[in-house]
Structures are given as structure tokens and as C-alpha cells.
Structure 1
Amino acid sequence: MSKRILFVCLGNICRSPSAHAVTRSLAPDWTVDSAGTSDWHVGEPPYGPMQAAARARGIAMDDLRARQFHADDFDLFDLIVAMDADNLARIESQRPAGNATPVRLFTDFDGVGAGDHVPDPYYTRDFDGCLDLIETCARGLIETD
């Protein structure tokens, strides 16, 4: 498995920065980043309740800031990981002609077939459940290396 990984969700304030923070804590030698397909929160830190849930597990993410996904990311990363099918489609719509960078769903790495998306805790309010799934998927991703 490649070691330059980009995690992508919609706003880049809950799921993808959590995946970013969890993965960098588990695989500190990897280059990881996160982005959102929307520009709603560019420059903002991760959502407060998401940060609090992560901090309770010893995972720091207060240094992260939201950014928007761009087509150039296909050239900067070895693997792009989407949090759900809608964002995967948005990512693919920006794929440059001839680019072969793989784009996968994060749940492809959960090892148990939990579903086709990481539920968005901004809406579900289940920050701990989201982190549980993210930790499972991150470990699965690392094990594929």
C-alpha cells in the first residue's frame, strides 16, 4: 500500500480530519492529509465536538485546518480515500485525463463489511461511533501496506 494518503469528506471538519489524525497517530511515517469536496469550511479547524471526542481518546487534531479537494491532489497522493459514495463521485468527477490514482471508500478497509460510508457525525451526532469506525478502517488500511 502507498504511503501518501488523502482522506476526503464533504466539509473537512469531522470525518476526513478524524481519519487524518487517527491514521497519522497509527502510522507516523506515512504522509497523510485531508480535504473536503465543498468549500464551506476552508481554513476552519475540525468541528469542536469531533475534536473533543478525539481528544478523549488521546488523538490530537487541533492543528488541522479544512481545505478543499482539487484535481492536483490526484498527482500528490498515492491513494485518495473517500468517506462515502457521494464524495467518491465528486472526487472522480475531477480526475484528470489519464490519471490512475486509486480512489477507494474508507469502509473498504473495515474488514467486516460495515457498509458503504462513514456516517457523518455532524448530522448523526454520534462522534464516538464515527471514531470507532474510523479507527477500524485506519487499522485495516495500515494492515494492507
Structure 2
Amino acid sequence: MFNKILVVCVGNICRSPTAERLLRKFHPALTVSSAGLGALVGKGADPCAISVAQAHNLSLENHCARQISGRMCREYDLILTMEKRHISALCEMVPEMRGKVMLFGHWDSEREIPDPYRKSRDAFDAVYALLERSARQWAQALNAEQGKQ
């Protein structure tokens, strides 16, 4: 059973905080956090990510970027990444995590979710749509899994 989920991207200021908040919204029973492989530690969410999220009634308020660690990985039941290279990096860092790391876009044809950092508002809007769709799909899959237990 996946009760504690960690969402990972690079800087932990655009994709993973948005995905974290979306998963919490669609599946409130989960404990969801986020971190980055090259986190801008201590920074809040990107201003454009905040603006796009607000346009969809989602708050990224009080987000504070965190650097992922092996210890942190071991605390979670499932780790969701934005790109395949993130899976490789995490499995190098903590080899025993291999079976617990998947793409956030897993249910969307194993889609990788591109980094909108320092790109246009349109790029952030497109990424938000991908994150929202994938978060809904994860929530649905996790709800179905809980129903079996």
C-alpha cells in the first residue's frame, strides 16, 4: 500500500510542488511531499508556477524547496519522478529504491513531464495540464488499490 508519496523533479520549485499539491487535492488521505535532485533549497515555488496554480484554484503557498537524500527516499512508499533520468539518478543514489520509483506520467503512456523553468507562461500552462491529468490518474489508481484491501 502506498500511503507516503514523494514527488521529485530537479529544482523542487515548479513541477514537483505542483504535483504534490495536486495529489493531495485529488487523494487527501495520502501523505505527499516533494523534493529535488538539484533543489534550490529554501526557495519558494516559481512565480509562474504559483500564478498558473492559482488560476486553477490550487495554492503553492508555503512551499520550501528541499534536496532529496537517501534517508528521505527510505521514508516513502512510492517515489514519483518527472523524467526517466530522475529514476536512474535515484536508483544510483539508493539502489534498493528501484521497485519504488516510477514516472509521475506512468498512467499517461509513461509520459515524461518537461521542465518549464525559465520558459513561457504557455509552457507552464501545458505542464500544469500534464501534471493535473497524471495526478488524477494516480489518485484513481491508488483509490482502486485501496478498494482491494
Distance in 2, matches of 1:101 and 1:72, equals: 16
2:55 corresponds in structure 1 to 56
Q: Secondary structure at the match of 1:11?
A: coil
After superposition, where does 1:1-145 map in structure 2 within 5 Å? 1-39=1-39, 41-95=40-94, 98=96, 102-110=100-108, 113=109, 116-125=111-120, 126-145=123-142
Indicate the SS of the match to 2:33.
strand
Distance in 1 between residues matched to 2:6 and 2:33, nearest whole Å: 5
- Contact 2:8-2:16 within 8 A present in 1 as well: yes
Could you tell me the percent identity over the aligned residues? 33
| Deviation readout 1:84-139 (Å, 9 max, x if unpaired) | 0121111111115x5565100111122xx2x5410111144311111110011111
56 and 103 in structure 1: CA distance in 2 versus 1, 3 angstrom threshold = same
Provide the rounded CA distance (Å) in 1 between the counterparts of 2:41 and 2:79. Answer: 19
TM-score by length of 1: 0.89
Aligned residues: 140
**What's the C-alpha RMSD, in Å, of the aligned pairs?**
1.6
Unaligned runs of 5+ in 2: 143-149
Distance in 2 separating the partners of 1:99 and 1:53: 32
> Which structure's residues are more often helix, by fraction?
2
The answer to whether the 8 Å contact 2:91/2:98 transfers is no
Which amino acid in 1 is paired with 2:33? D
The change in CA–CA distance for 1:47 and 1:99 in structure 2 (over 3 A counts) is closer
Measured in 1, the distance between the counterparts of 2:113 and 2:119 equals 11
* TM-score normalised by length of structure 2: 0.87
- Report SS of the residue matched to 1:107: coil
